Amino acid sequence: MSTMQHHSAERGSTAPVHQLPMQDSPELKAALEQANLQTLLMVYVHLTHDESMLETFKVHIHPPYTNPDYQIPQDCIDDLREKLLYVLTTPGAARNEDPPLALMQKMMTVSVGEPVENEFIPMVLEQSGFQRTAARKEKAERTPPPPGFKVLVIGAGLTGLLASIELERAGYDHVVIEKNEEVGGTWWKNRYPGVGVDTPSHFYSYSFEISPEWNHYHPHGADMREYFRSVADKYDLRRHIRFETRVLSLVFDEATALWNVTVENVKTGERDVIRANAIFNAFGPADRWSLPNIPGIDSFRGVLTHSAGYDEGIDLKGKKVAVIGTGASSAQIVATIVGEVEEMVVFMRTKHWMINNPEVTKEVPEAVKWALRHIPHYKEWFRFRVFWFAADGLYPNVVKDPNYPEDGIAVSALNEGMRQYALSHMRHKLASRPDLIEKLTPDFPIFSKRIVMDAGWYDALVQSHVTLDDTPIAEILPDGIRMKNGTEYKFDVIICATGFNHGKLVKDLVIKGRGDHDLAVDWADEEERAYMGTTIPGYPNYFMSVGPNAGPNHAGGLNIVSEAQVHYMIECLDHMIANGARTIEPTQDAFARHNRRIDDRMKHMIWTHPKAKSYYQNSKGRPVGPWPFRLVDMWNEMRGPVQSDYRLD
């Protein structure tokens, strides 16, 4: 199959039917004035197939990181807006058919100012919302799941909801087990001040459900909750979900080829067993948290909370507040509450690279929302641009240049350029506080651990009532915190922004597979490994999301990995059923070969740099989180199972 031919797909299936011509209205004119210019160009060419306009603009469009201050000539802008207004408001001016794929590829290349090669086209068409895999249950040649076949999904967050939607479209009976009282997973539970997403809003969503309603270019927690609730409503997903229920164990029965799943009601403690043919473990790495192991933590008489279990009713006004931790959650919390508290001390355990991204707090103008809602194809082309610049273009940042010293502060010229960019921002923001610059400057390469977006973090730290203390904490007292150097602080509130328990991917879940396979034994000493981050030998019909070495840690978002893995799971089950088998699992040879490939590639990646220390690694330093290849490689490899790599029974 040519790379320009997409797998069986519905062309344009996600786009609403727009009524053309549109009314020439003040709202339309405002949208044309404020909407993204490159996206408007794509809309015009999409509706007219006018390649001459691409030729006019291609010399003026550059990737944002190469020439950020370049201004497109005003006469070109005026001409585009005038022509697009005419096409949108004049009967018969727009063509009814979509552009051919060759023209779509040319449009993409012009839109982002750099080549969009053939290998990216199928993934980009899907991720931009232009194509969607056809519903499998509508295919006459497909072998449908046998009566009574059931899939059990663990978790109703981003990945679990997606699995429910796709399993329904594939004709699989399924049940979703969710420990919370509502959908959304980590975005339902996390309600700390300033909670938000690093990934851009218009990409951090399902490719087939692109929302025009985001209030910020990077979504806040409330936006995420509303998005997932609206998706659950639209697809009627709650009928599949058992809320306030926790999965305790998964035990495979070889005689029946079924999984016995013990679940517990989180309120009553009542337990029962569900029998399922297949399991999809969809809870993510940011699922379980615990308070830090600091002596005296139980003695504190004030308010003590973790960011992941934050009570929105906590009153911080005029209070003395401690924030323990300096990662992404801490940066958001500190920037949000700094104007409310009387005094704040931030306790730093580890340093982080902070990136300036002015869009992190920027609101989406109403005129742009209007364009996303009403202008044909605008939201798909807008998502394409957002996705492109948040995806594999960032991959070279995490690849080691062999000419750079193994233990240096950067791994390549590009990586050093990003380090200097981050340093320049820090020095600008902290010019009046050289002491903070010294405290905050990391000694490891940028991107070797998760970077943090600056949404007011540096501005908060220079406030007169804020202290950054990097001395180790000795103990928590009934009324405050004592440091190892003897300094004592008094606090009303302690907020622990200390992250999640990433040490065990399946946490405390008991998983026993075929024969003597027990995942606690197979993954002892944190040696967590899988095939394609999704399946494991000895665990038939068991699939997991964002498993070992499947994390999109150089770019993109969890959503693209989740869509690839859900698609892969259903392709595996379809392959099994079409062959009359009851179980499918990877062979030991395929598993070993895949992990050798991961280890060999990881030697060339930033995450094995001697100064890289993060939750991407296990306690022995092996990176168990990151996928060391490009996102397009993952997407292409997960179109379906390599049949010889799987055992059917």
Residues 6+ apart with CB under 8 A from 74: none
Residue 7: per-residue pLDDT: 36
Residue 4's pLDDT band (cuts 50, 70, 90): very low
Residue type, 142: R
CATH for 581:
3.50.50.60
Tokens describing residue 178: 């969710």
What whole-number distance in Å separates Cα of residue 38 and Cα of residue 508? 48
Average pLDDT, integer, range 33-52:
97
Residue 147 is predicted with a pLDDT of 96
Rounded to 10 deg, the angle between the 558-578 and 158-169 helix axes is 30
What's the pTM?
Answer: 0.94
**For 413-424, how does the pLDDT look when each residue is reduced to its tens digit (9 = 90+)?**
999 999 999 999
Residue at which a domain ends, from 479, 496, 513:
496
Following CA atoms 514, 517, 523, 528 in sequence, which dihedral angle do they give, to the nearest 10 degrees? -20
Q: Contact, 534 vs 565, CB < 8 A?
A: yes
Domain boundary among 496, 520, 555: 496
Domain region containing 532: 148-287+502-648
> Phi and psi at residue 32, in whole multiples of 5°?
-65, -30
d(CA 465, CA 446): 30
Q: Is the same domain home to 188 and 257?
A: yes
1: in domain:
no
**How far apart, in Å, are the Cα atoms of 473 and each of 360, 378, 492, 521?**
31, 52, 17, 35
| Judgement on whether residues 181 and 249 belong to the same structural domain of the protein | yes
Same domain as 153, residue 255: yes
Same domain? For 100 and 156 the reply is: no
- Say how many domains are in the chain: 3
Mean predicted confidence (pLDDT) in 493-522: 85
How many separate helices (H) and strands (E) can be counted in the chain?
A: 19, 23
Instruction: Please give the Cα distance from 275 to 252 (Å, whole number).
Output: 10
Confidence (pLDDT) at 64 = 80
Round to whole Å and give the CA distance between 383 and 363. Answer: 17
- The answer on 314 and 234 residing in a single domain is no
The pLDDT confidence band at residue 287, using thresholds 50, 70 and 90, is low
Q: In angstroms, rounded to a whole number, what is the distance separating the alpha carbons of residues 173 and 311?
A: 37
Contact 238, 232 (CB under 8 A): yes
What SS3 state is found at 150? strand
Helical ranges in 359-483 per DSSP H: 366-374, 378-389, 413-429, 434-440, 457-461
440 and 523 inside one domain? no
CA 335/CA 598 separation, integer angstroms: 38
What single-letter DSSP state applies at residue 531? B
As a whole number, the mean pLDDT across the chain is 93
pLDDT attached to residue 178 = 97
Give the domain-ending residue among 496, 520, 542: 496
Measured distance CA(163)–CA(543) in Å, rounded: 11
Residue at 416 is within a domain: yes
Same domain, 449 and 323: yes
Regarding whether 42 and 126 lie in a shared domain, the answer is yes
* Phi and psi torsions of 275, nearest 5°: -105, 130
Given a cut of 80, whether residue 182 has pLDDT beyond it is: yes
Q: How far apart are CA 242 and CA 244, in angstroms?
A: 7
SS3 content of the chain, % helix, strand, coil (to 5): 35, 15, 45
Phi/psi-derived region of residue 330, left when phi > 0, alpha when psi is between -120 and 50, beta in every other case: alpha
Residue given tokens 């405290």 in the structure block: 439
Residues, the chain: 649
Instruction: Please indicate, yes or no, whether residues 110 and 193 belong to a single structural domain of this protein.
Output: no
| Interstrand relation of 473-477 and 466-469 (parallel, antiparallel or unpaired) | unpaired
What pLDDT shows up at residue 499? 77
| Predicted confidence band of residue 285 (pLDDT cuts 50, 70, 90) | low
Q: How buried is residue 389: exposed, middle or buried, by Cβ count under 10 Å (0-12/13-18/19+)?
A: middle
CA–CA separation, 624 and 530 (whole Å): 10
One DSSP character per residue, 301-323 reads -SEEEEGGG--TT---TT-EEEE
Question: Do 516 and 529 belong together in one domain?
Answer: yes
**Does a structural domain hold residue 2?**
no
User: What pLDDT score was predicted for residue 433?
Assistant: 96
Across residues 392-413, what is the average pLDDT? 94
Question: Is the pLDDT at 280 greater than 80, yes or no?
Answer: yes
The token pair at 213 is: 């309603």
Does one domain contain both 547 and 612? yes
In this prediction, residue 65 carries a pLDDT of: 72
**Token pair in block for residue 68:** 């950020």
pLDDT-derived band at 8, boundaries 50, 70, 90: very low
Task: Identify the pLDDT of residue 392.
Answer: 93
CB neighbours of 245 closer than 8 A, spacing ≥ 6? 177, 178, 179, 263, 264, 265, 266
Shared-domain flag, residues 254 and 309: no
The Cα 123–Cα 6 span in angstroms is 9
Alpha helix segments (H runs only) across 430-478: 434-440, 457-461
- 299 contacts 291 by C-beta, under 8 angstroms: no
Whether the predicted pLDDT of 436 surpasses 80: yes
Residue 595 carries which side chain, given as an amino acid letter? Answer: N
